[in-house]
Amino acid sequence: KNEVEQSPQNLTAQEGEFITINCSYSVGISALHWLQQHPGGGIVSLFMLSSGKKKHGRLIATINIQEKHSSLHITASHPRDSAVYICAVTNPGDSNYQLIWGAGTKLIIKP
Amino acid sequence: KAGVTQTPRYLIKTRGQQVTLSCSPISGHRSVSWYQQTPGQGLQFLFEYFSETQRNKGNFPGRFSGRQFSNSRSEMNVSTLELGDSALYLCASSFLDMNTEAFFGQGTRLTVV
Protein backbone atom coordinates (compact mmCIF):
# COMPACT_ATOMS: atom_id res chain seq x y z
CA LYS A 1 0.00 0.00 0.00
CA ASN A 2 1.31 3.43 -0.91
CA GLU A 3 1.95 5.81 1.95
CA VAL A 4 0.09 8.58 0.11
CA GLU A 5 -3.10 7.75 -1.75
CA GLN A 6 -5.02 10.15 -3.96
CA SER A 7 -8.52 9.91 -5.35
CA PRO A 8 -9.81 10.04 -7.93
CA GLN A 9 -7.01 9.13 -10.31
CA ASN A 10 -8.81 10.89 -13.16
CA LEU A 11 -11.53 13.51 -13.08
CA THR A 12 -13.35 15.16 -15.94
CA ALA A 13 -15.77 17.97 -15.23
CA GLN A 14 -17.55 20.85 -16.93
CA GLU A 15 -16.41 24.42 -16.61
CA GLY A 16 -17.86 26.03 -13.52
CA GLU A 17 -18.16 22.85 -11.46
CA PHE A 18 -16.85 22.56 -7.90
CA ILE A 19 -13.92 20.14 -7.83
CA THR A 20 -12.66 18.07 -4.91
CA ILE A 21 -9.48 15.98 -4.92
CA ASN A 22 -8.68 13.84 -1.92
CA CYS A 23 -5.43 12.74 -0.34
CA SER A 24 -5.02 10.17 2.43
CA TYR A 25 -1.74 9.26 4.05
CA SER A 26 -0.65 6.52 6.39
CA VAL A 27 2.50 8.03 7.90
CA GLY A 28 3.01 10.74 10.46
CA ILE A 29 3.66 13.98 8.70
CA SER A 30 5.29 17.31 9.35
CA ALA A 31 3.69 19.01 6.35
CA LEU A 32 1.51 18.28 3.35
CA HIS A 33 2.00 19.88 -0.05
CA TRP A 34 -0.44 20.28 -2.91
CA LEU A 35 1.27 20.75 -6.25
CA GLN A 36 0.14 21.28 -9.80
CA GLN A 37 1.85 19.87 -12.88
CA HIS A 38 0.95 20.98 -16.39
CA PRO A 39 1.87 19.07 -19.55
CA GLY A 40 5.51 19.86 -20.22
CA GLY A 41 6.50 18.94 -16.73
CA GLY A 42 7.04 21.97 -14.53
CA ILE A 43 5.60 21.68 -11.03
CA VAL A 44 4.04 24.59 -9.18
CA SER A 45 3.56 24.57 -5.44
CA LEU A 46 -0.05 25.46 -4.58
CA PHE A 47 -0.17 25.00 -0.82
CA MET A 48 1.88 23.77 2.07
CA LEU A 49 -0.08 23.08 5.23
CA SER A 50 0.22 21.25 8.50
CA SER A 51 -3.17 22.08 9.98
CA GLY A 52 -6.48 23.74 9.21
CA LYS A 53 -7.30 25.36 5.94
CA LYS A 54 -5.69 27.65 3.37
CA LYS A 55 -7.26 29.59 0.52
CA HIS A 56 -5.72 31.18 -2.52
CA GLY A 57 -8.06 32.59 -5.13
CA ARG A 58 -10.38 29.79 -6.27
CA LEU A 59 -8.31 27.11 -4.56
CA ILE A 60 -8.90 25.85 -1.03
CA ALA A 61 -6.89 23.20 0.80
CA THR A 62 -7.90 21.56 4.05
CA ILE A 63 -6.24 19.01 6.25
CA ASN A 64 -7.53 16.80 9.08
CA ILE A 65 -4.53 15.53 11.01
CA GLN A 66 -6.54 13.09 13.14
CA GLU A 67 -8.09 11.46 10.07
CA LYS A 68 -4.85 11.71 8.03
CA HIS A 69 -6.73 13.26 5.17
CA SER A 70 -6.50 16.38 3.04
CA SER A 71 -8.67 17.80 0.30
CA LEU A 72 -8.03 20.27 -2.48
CA HIS A 73 -11.07 22.15 -3.73
CA ILE A 74 -11.40 24.26 -6.86
CA THR A 75 -14.38 26.57 -7.08
CA ALA A 76 -15.78 27.81 -10.42
CA SER A 77 -13.43 25.51 -12.33
CA HIS A 78 -12.00 26.68 -15.63
CA PRO A 79 -10.32 24.84 -18.53
CA ARG A 80 -6.99 26.38 -17.51
CA ASP A 81 -7.24 24.39 -14.27
CA SER A 82 -6.70 21.23 -16.32
CA ALA A 83 -3.53 19.66 -14.96
CA VAL A 84 -2.27 16.89 -12.73
CA TYR A 85 -2.65 17.68 -9.04
CA ILE A 86 -0.24 15.96 -6.71
CA CYS A 87 -0.31 15.55 -2.96
CA ALA A 88 3.02 15.03 -1.19
CA VAL A 89 4.00 14.81 2.47
CA THR A 90 7.09 15.13 4.59
CA ASN A 91 7.66 12.43 7.17
CA PRO A 92 9.58 13.38 10.33
CA GLY A 93 11.12 9.92 10.21
CA ASP A 94 12.87 10.97 7.03
CA SER A 95 14.09 14.16 8.70
CA ASN A 96 11.86 16.25 6.45
CA TYR A 97 14.40 16.18 3.66
CA GLN A 98 12.27 14.51 1.05
CA LEU A 99 8.72 14.49 -0.21
CA ILE A 100 6.65 11.30 -0.31
CA TRP A 101 4.45 11.61 -3.36
CA GLY A 102 0.95 10.56 -4.26
CA ALA A 103 0.33 9.26 -7.77
CA GLY A 104 -1.51 12.40 -8.84
CA THR A 105 -5.02 13.22 -10.02
CA LYS A 106 -5.43 14.13 -13.66
CA LEU A 107 -8.08 16.83 -13.95
CA ILE A 108 -9.69 17.84 -17.22
CA ILE A 109 -12.13 20.74 -17.27
CA LYS A 110 -14.22 20.92 -20.42
CA PRO A 111 -15.55 24.27 -21.67
CA LYS B 1 12.75 37.08 -7.62
CA ALA B 2 14.01 34.57 -10.17
CA GLY B 3 12.62 31.06 -9.94
CA VAL B 4 14.38 27.72 -9.92
CA THR B 5 16.37 27.25 -13.10
CA GLN B 6 17.20 23.85 -14.50
CA THR B 7 19.47 23.35 -17.45
CA PRO B 8 19.34 21.95 -19.97
CA ARG B 9 15.60 21.55 -20.58
CA TYR B 10 16.00 18.65 -22.97
CA LEU B 11 18.79 16.18 -23.48
CA ILE B 12 19.30 13.13 -25.67
CA LYS B 13 22.11 10.76 -24.76
CA THR B 14 23.28 7.32 -25.84
CA ARG B 15 23.42 4.29 -23.57
CA GLY B 16 26.70 4.14 -21.71
CA GLN B 17 27.29 7.88 -21.77
CA GLN B 18 27.19 10.10 -18.73
CA VAL B 19 25.18 13.26 -18.17
CA THR B 20 25.27 16.24 -15.81
CA LEU B 21 22.17 18.24 -14.98
CA SER B 22 22.19 21.61 -13.25
CA CYS B 23 19.80 23.30 -10.84
CA SER B 24 20.05 26.89 -9.64
CA PRO B 25 17.80 27.46 -6.63
CA ILE B 26 16.01 30.60 -5.62
CA SER B 27 18.37 33.14 -4.13
CA GLY B 28 18.73 32.54 -0.40
CA HIS B 29 17.52 28.96 -0.53
CA ARG B 30 20.06 26.45 0.75
CA SER B 31 18.17 23.19 0.27
CA VAL B 32 18.05 21.56 -3.14
CA SER B 33 16.41 18.20 -3.71
CA TRP B 34 16.21 16.11 -6.84
CA TYR B 35 13.42 13.86 -8.08
CA GLN B 36 12.99 11.49 -10.99
CA GLN B 37 9.62 11.23 -12.69
CA THR B 38 8.76 8.34 -14.99
CA PRO B 39 5.35 7.20 -16.25
CA GLY B 40 5.70 3.85 -14.54
CA GLN B 41 7.17 4.86 -11.17
CA GLY B 42 5.84 8.36 -10.69
CA LEU B 43 7.98 10.79 -8.71
CA GLN B 44 10.86 9.33 -6.75
CA PHE B 45 13.34 11.06 -4.46
CA LEU B 46 16.97 11.02 -5.54
CA PHE B 47 18.84 13.12 -2.97
CA GLU B 48 18.84 16.37 -1.05
CA TYR B 49 21.63 18.83 -0.38
CA PHE B 50 21.91 21.60 2.16
CA SER B 51 24.92 23.88 2.45
CA GLU B 52 27.02 21.58 0.26
CA THR B 53 26.19 18.46 2.32
CA GLN B 54 24.05 15.56 1.20
CA ARG B 55 21.50 15.06 3.97
CA ASN B 56 19.43 12.28 2.49
CA LYS B 57 19.57 9.88 -0.41
CA GLY B 58 16.88 7.82 -2.11
CA ASN B 59 17.10 4.26 -3.34
CA PHE B 60 18.97 4.76 -6.56
CA PRO B 61 22.13 3.00 -7.73
CA GLY B 62 25.52 4.58 -7.29
CA ARG B 63 25.47 5.71 -10.93
CA PHE B 64 23.37 8.61 -9.68
CA SER B 65 25.35 11.19 -7.80
CA GLY B 66 25.11 14.84 -6.98
CA ARG B 67 26.81 17.76 -5.37
CA GLN B 68 26.10 21.27 -4.23
CA PHE B 69 28.34 24.28 -4.56
CA SER B 70 28.91 27.14 -2.14
CA ASN B 71 26.42 29.31 -4.04
CA SER B 72 23.77 26.55 -3.50
CA ARG B 73 23.68 25.57 -7.15
CA SER B 74 23.45 21.82 -7.48
CA GLU B 75 24.37 19.31 -10.11
CA MET B 76 23.39 15.71 -10.52
CA ASN B 77 25.35 13.25 -12.57
CA VAL B 78 24.28 9.95 -14.06
CA SER B 79 27.03 7.71 -15.35
CA THR B 80 26.77 4.71 -17.65
CA LEU B 81 23.31 5.69 -18.82
CA GLU B 82 20.66 3.02 -19.28
CA LEU B 83 17.47 3.20 -21.31
CA GLY B 84 15.49 3.15 -18.05
CA ASP B 85 17.11 6.42 -16.99
CA SER B 86 14.93 8.23 -19.52
CA ALA B 87 12.79 10.48 -17.35
CA LEU B 88 11.95 14.00 -16.29
CA TYR B 89 14.39 15.12 -13.61
CA LEU B 90 13.03 17.81 -11.31
CA CYS B 91 14.76 19.83 -8.68
CA ALA B 92 13.13 21.66 -5.80
CA SER B 93 14.51 24.56 -3.83
CA SER B 94 13.52 25.50 -0.31
CA PHE B 95 14.89 27.70 2.43
CA LEU B 96 15.53 24.99 4.99
CA ASP B 97 13.81 21.70 4.18
CA MET B 98 10.50 20.37 2.95
CA ASN B 99 8.69 21.86 5.93
CA THR B 100 9.22 25.21 4.24
CA GLU B 101 7.61 26.04 0.94
CA ALA B 102 9.22 24.29 -2.00
CA PHE B 103 9.69 25.76 -5.44
CA PHE B 104 10.27 23.57 -8.44
CA GLY B 105 12.12 24.00 -11.68
CA GLN B 106 10.70 23.17 -15.11
CA GLY B 107 12.70 19.96 -15.18
CA THR B 108 15.20 18.39 -17.53
CA ARG B 109 13.77 15.78 -19.86
CA LEU B 110 16.43 13.16 -20.48
CA THR B 111 16.03 10.65 -23.27
CA VAL B 112 18.48 7.77 -23.47
CA VAL B 113 18.64 6.01 -26.84
Q: Do B104 and A42 touch (CB under 8 A)?
A: yes
**Which pLDDT score, from 0 to 100, does residue B46 have?**
95
Asked if A98 lies within 8 A of B101 by C-beta distance, the reply is no
pLDDT given at position B32: 96
Percent of chain A at pLDDT above 70? 96
Q: Are A91 and A59 in contact (CB under 8 A)?
A: no
Question: Hey, are the CB atoms on A97 and B33 less than 8 Å from each other?
Answer: yes
Mutation test of the interface with chain A: which of B99, B100, B103, B111, choosing the one with the most A Cβ atoms within 10 A?
B99
| Residue percentage of chain B with pLDDT more than 90 | 85
Q: Over the stretch A82-108, which tens digit does the pLDDT of each residue have? A: 999 999 998 877 666 788 899 999 999
- Which has the higher per-residue pLDDT, A93 or B92? B92
A41 CB neighbours in chain B (<8 A) are 37, 88, 90, 106-107, 109
Q: Is residue A85 within 8 Å of A34, Cβ to Cβ? A: yes
Q: What is the mean pLDDT of residues A2-24?
A: 96
Interchain CB distance below 8 Å, B99 and A101: no
Q: How many angstroms separate the CA atoms of B36 and B107, rounded?
A: 9
Cross-strand pairs, A105: A85
Residues A29/A99, Cβ–Cβ less than 8 Å: no
pLDDT for residue B101:
84
Q: Do B101 and A35 touch (CB under 8 A)?
A: no
CA atoms within 13 Å, Cβ hemisphere of A35: 27
Per-residue pLDDT, A94:
65
Interface residue A49 vs chain B (CB under 8 A): no
Any chain B CB within 8 A of the CB of A2?
A: no
Spatial separation of the C-alpha atoms in residues B90 and B20, rounded to whole Å: 13
pLDDT of residue B107: 93
Q: What is the pLDDT of residue A95?
A: 62
Chain A CB contacts of B107 below 8 Å: 41-43
